[in-house]
Chain A
Amino acid sequence: MDMRADAAADRTTGVSGIARWLAHVSAQRPLLVTAVGGTECRLAVERVVRERGLRRALSPSEADTLVECGPAGSGVDEAAERVWDQMGEPRARVRVRSAEEAGARIDEARIALLDLPAQRRAAARRTDADRVEDQESAEPGTDDGAQTADEAEDPGQDRQDRHDHREHRDRQARSRHHDGQSHHAHEDRQGHGRDDAEEHERAPGRGEHGGHGNAHGHGQDHDREEEGGGQEDHEGHDHHDHHGMELPGGLVMADRGDDRDGLRLDRLHIAIGPVQADWPAGLVLGLTVQGDVVQEAEVAVQTPSVEDVSVFWDDIARETLDPGALRFRAAASADSLQRFLAVAGWPDAAATGLLLRDTLLVPEGQATGRTRFTRWLRRVRRSKLLRWSLRGLGPIPGGDRLAGPTESWPVPARLHGDAAARVGRWIDDIAAVLMPDTSDTFLAPPISRERSGPPAGGLSSAPPFPPLGRERAEYARAAVALLPDMVAGQELAAVRLVVASLDPDLESLAVYLPEAAHD
């Protein structure tokens, strides 16, 4: 395109040269959505992102590319749709179905991002669609608790005539974005008055949070949530008659409950996952929080709808324990460890862990950069701050048995101990591959001591090698069963750390133990 055509295009579409230049120099910020069965794609995308020097986005507010990894058709798609809705232009969306096409898709997204006139048109279309929806939003919505929604409202419109619609809990609307104008997108439903960023953590299957209790599964009305994390009612009366109370965005008052100190604080129902940075794919953790302390938790698994999901961390071709297989197994531990380090707020160590994982996954060749990785491993292992943060967090005592619908099984030994112990096992797995000839006390891990002695209580000892395939499914089953009790009473940072230290592999759970995934 020559200069005159460019300038002509600029004039007609209103895109200035500065905007084009900014678009060219700006870095892409991809947001990854991983469905169950998309591990291989996720690994490829993360590798491509790392090689190009991009940084992954943590939330839709900073993302410009939505990369969906894995097969379509699982429950994660609804969450991805909501996240897509919350992203502002310029934005692009791609789906990566196999590892080879990761780079190509991201390039496609970049080309779409650079097409500024098209982005502007899309933005204008969205704004117009919002306005049209405003005007026809007067009728009550259908009874469908599955969608969350917002409605845009003209600033000039009187809020008073919205009152009678607020009682209609099941409105449909979609979240909106506006160009810096003071439109108030408000939600006329009984779900979260919260914001858009929370919607992307909501499980599609759960629908609205707790409002009617249907998503909550309890059928109790008094746990209506709304606003409030941490806010408390100053009057003693019950909240069932909010109806005439005009609230911003059509929100309804949160209901209250006792907290651990005996205060009556508002309760908020949020869900972490399935779209969340550094989060196990397909896991949805529904939490009732007061402030940021979790009162109740429940786990849901977004299983894929396709039947032939392939498990990446699998042992079919790797029964032997040759060096290649050991590297593959250690790569699984490295993947879990780097996600954990990212959640623990150590992005540099997580970045090196990512590099290590990619290096270990390369089938041939030795681990280049052995010095770098050895130094990294030592630093993580010896980090007193990490141990201090993790000590006593998420303890799983040995000797427990978990009960399933038809059988009971002991808690796998690999999950025993606190979060520090589990992380220490991953470190040991990697050390066994990186430094296989060092078994002396120089590198004796201060984090996990229980590997050295015989396991207490006569339990099955932790397997000496990182698990693959069916073993991972068993660990995931145990983790999913134990999670609700482990996180109750903890605060959100601890919840994230506990989940990251368990890192359940729901892919293998869906394939090897499908009955546990569908409970």
Chain B
Amino acid sequence: MAEWTVFVVCAVAAVAAGAAVFRVDSMARATFALLASFVFTAVPVLLLDLAYLGVLIVLMMTMEMVVMAVFMIMFMMNPAGLMPMTMVHNTKGALAISIAVFCVLAAGALLVPWPRESAPPPADPTLQLGEAIMGDDMLVMMVAGLVLFATMVSGVVLATGRGRYDRYGDDLRGRPDDPIRGGVGR
């Protein structure tokens, strides 16, 4: 009973916070409303005894939302404070699509015959999660991690305006010529 109450409260709050993202008057408020929505989503995950995933959602989403706030404030003008702004285009169409998708997903969640719990829940869900991910598929996971990292690095390299030759000169020797020096001198 208590679980149901918590679930319902968190579900409603998550949807409300998600809707608030498009209604508030400031990019910072939008970002933190989105963060609130994520946190409210993480609480039901905790109710499912998936402690590691729930706390991890809070951890990663906070960091990501803060980084997103940095970029949003950098790229979308807004003073600290409230300014009427609109983040949606094609309002009617977007609303219709989003409501339809929500109904489809909710229907799926409610109507799909989920398998009954045949085995008792594992003693240590975190360990089970770890073994499921890294036990048989460790190589896949490691390669995926490396590919992600390489993609991030390549993205930054492609985006930066100055390459190695700009920084070091044509012979790639000596200290880099940066307007603001780094700490290690690389």
Contact, chains A and B (beta carbon distance below 8 A): yes
Q: Please name the 4 residue pairs, one residue from A and one from B, whose CB atoms are nearest each other, closest first.
A: A248-B81, A227-B79, A234-B76, A233-B77
Residues in B67-92 with C-beta less than 8 Å from chain A: 73-84
What is the bound-complex CA distance between A490 and B178, given in angstroms? 11
- Determine the chain B residues whose CB is within 8 A of the CB of A491 once the complex forms: 180
Residues in B126-185 with C-beta less than 8 Å from chain A: 160-161, 179-181, 183
Q: How far is the CB of A213 from chain B (nearest CB, A)?
A: 21
Nearest A residue to B77, CB-CB: A233
Nearest A residue to B83, CB-CB: A247
Check A231 for interface membership: any CB of B closer than 8 A: yes
- Determine the chain A residues whose CB is within 8 A of the CB of B77 once the complex forms: 227-228, 231-234, 253-254, 266
Q: How far is the CB of B59 from chain A (nearest CB, A)?
A: 26
Among the stretches A70-78, A257-265, A466-474, the one at the interface with B is: A257-265
Q: How far is the CB of A166 from chain B (nearest CB, A)?
A: 13
Residues in A16-64 with C-beta less than 8 Å from chain B: none
- Determine the chain B residues whose CB is within 8 A of the CB of A249 once the complex forms: 79, 81
Q: How far is the CB of B158 from chain A (nearest CB, A)?
A: 14
Count the B residues whose beta carbon is within 8 Å of the partner chain — how many?
18
What is the bound-complex CA distance between A311 and B172, given in angstroms? 52
From known contacts A231-B73, A265-B74, infer whether A490 and B83 are also in contact, taking CB-CB under 8 Å: no
Residues in A188-202 with C-beta less than 8 Å from chain B: 193
Interface on A for B, CB 8 Å cutoff?
193, 226-228, 230-234, 245-249, 251, 253-254, 260-262, 265-266, 291, 293, 388, 391-393, 489-491, 494
From known contacts A260-B179, A489-B179, infer whether A245 and B83 are also in contact, taking CB-CB under 8 Å: yes
- Determine the chain A residues whose CB is within 8 A of the CB of B83 once the complex forms: 245-248
What is the bound-complex CA distance between A266 and B75, given in angstroms? 9
Nearest B residue to A262, CB-CB: B161
What is the bound-complex CA distance between A144 and B79, given in angstroms? 25
CB within 8 Å: A-B pair count: 59
- Determine the chain A residues whose CB is within 8 A of the CB of B179 once the complex forms: 260, 489-490
- 18 additional A-B residue pairs with CB within 8 Å, beyond A227-B80, A232-B75, A234-B75: A227-B77, A227-B79, A232-B77, A233-B76, A247-B79, A247-B81, A247-B83, A249-B79, A251-B81, A254-B77, A261-B160, A265-B74, A266-B77, A388-B183, A393-B181, A489-B179, A489-B180, A494-B180
From known contacts A248-B82, A249-B81, infer whether A232 and B181 are also in contact, taking CB-CB under 8 Å: no
Nearest B residue to A246, CB-CB: B84
Report yes or no: B76 in contact with A232, Cβ–Cβ below 8 A.
yes
- Determine the chain B residues whose CB is within 8 A of the CB of A251 once the complex forms: 79, 81
Nearest B residue to A235, CB-CB: B77
Q: How far is the CB of B145 from chain A (nearest CB, A)?
A: 29
From known contacts A245-B83, A248-B81, A262-B161, infer whether A490 and B180 are also in contact, taking CB-CB under 8 Å: yes
Q: How far is the CB of B43 from chain A (nearest CB, A)?
A: 31
Nearest B residue to A265, CB-CB: B74
Interface on B for A, CB 8 Å cutoff?
73-84, 160-161, 179-181, 183
From known contacts A260-B179, A388-B183, A392-B181, infer whether A248 and B79 are also in contact, taking CB-CB under 8 Å: yes
- Determine the chain B residues whose CB is within 8 A of the CB of A291 once the complex forms: 74
What is the bound-complex CA distance between A193 and B84, given in angstroms? 17
Nearest A residue to B84, CB-CB: A246
Report yes or no: A230 in contact with B81, Cβ–Cβ below 8 A.
no
- Determine the chain A residues whose CB is within 8 A of the CB of B73 once the complex forms: 230-231
Q: Interface residues of A: mostly helix, strand, loop or mixed?
A: loop
What is the bound-complex CA distance between A234 and B183, given in angstroms? 33
- Determine the chain A residues whose CB is within 8 A of the CB of B78 once the complex forms: 231
What is the bound-complex CA distance between A260 and B160, given in angstroms? 11
Most chain A CB neighbours (cut-off 10 Å) among B78, B79, B82, B160: B79
- Determine the chain A residues whose CB is within 8 A of the CB of B74 once the complex forms: 230-232, 265, 291
- Determine the chain B residues whose CB is within 8 A of the CB of A253 once the complex forms: 77
What is the bound-complex CA distance between A266 and B160, given in angstroms? 20
- Determine the chain B residues whose CB is within 8 A of the CB of A393 once the complex forms: 181
Most chain A CB neighbours (cut-off 10 Å) among B75, B80, B179: B80
Nearest A residue to B82, CB-CB: A248
What is the bound-complex CA distance between A388 and B181, given in angstroms? 11
Q: How far is the CB of A266 from chain B (nearest CB, A)?
A: 7
Most chain B CB neighbours (cut-off 10 Å) among A226, A228, A254: A228
10 A/B residue pairs, CB under 8 Å, sorted by A:
A231-B73, A231-B78, A233-B76, A234-B75, A234-B77, A246-B84, A248-B83, A265-B74, A293-B180, A489-B180
- Determine the chain A residues whose CB is within 8 A of the CB of B84 once the complex forms: 246
- Determine the chain B residues whose CB is within 8 A of the CB of A230 once the complex forms: 73-74
Nearest B residue to A253, CB-CB: B77
What is the bound-complex CA distance between A339 and B160, given in angstroms? 38
What is the bound-complex CA distance between A245 and B180, given in angstroms? 37
Report yes or no: A231 in contact with B79, Cβ–Cβ below 8 A.
yes
Q: How far is the CB of A64 from chain B (nearest CB, A)?
A: 26
- Determine the chain B residues whose CB is within 8 A of the CB of A266 once the complex forms: 77
Nearest A residue to B162, CB-CB: A261
What is the bound-complex CA distance between A261 and B74, given in angstroms? 14
- Determine the chain B residues whose CB is within 8 A of the CB of A489 once the complex forms: 179-180
- Determine the chain A residues whose CB is within 8 A of the CB of B79 once the complex forms: 193, 226-228, 231, 247-249, 251
What is the bound-complex CA distance between A230 and B180, given in angstroms? 17
Q: How far is the CB of B84 from chain A (nearest CB, A)?
A: 6
What is the bound-complex CA distance between A194 and B160, given in angstroms? 31
What is the bound-complex CA distance between A489 and B82, given in angstroms? 31
Q: How far is the CB of B78 from chain A (nearest CB, A)?
A: 6
Most chain B CB neighbours (cut-off 10 Å) among A248, A254, A261: A248
- Determine the chain A residues whose CB is within 8 A of the CB of B82 once the complex forms: 248
What is the bound-complex CA distance between A265 and B71, given in angstroms? 12
- Determine the chain A residues whose CB is within 8 A of the CB of B183 once the complex forms: 388
Nearest A residue to B175, CB-CB: A392
Nearest B residue to A264, CB-CB: B75
- Determine the chain A residues whose CB is within 8 A of the CB of B80 once the complex forms: 227, 248
Q: How far is the CB of A193 from chain B (nearest CB, A)?
A: 6
What is the bound-complex CA distance between A494 and B81, given in angstroms? 29
What is the bound-complex CA distance between A253 and B83, given in angstroms? 11
Q: How far is the CB of B177 from chain A (nearest CB, A)?
A: 11
Nearest B residue to A233, CB-CB: B77
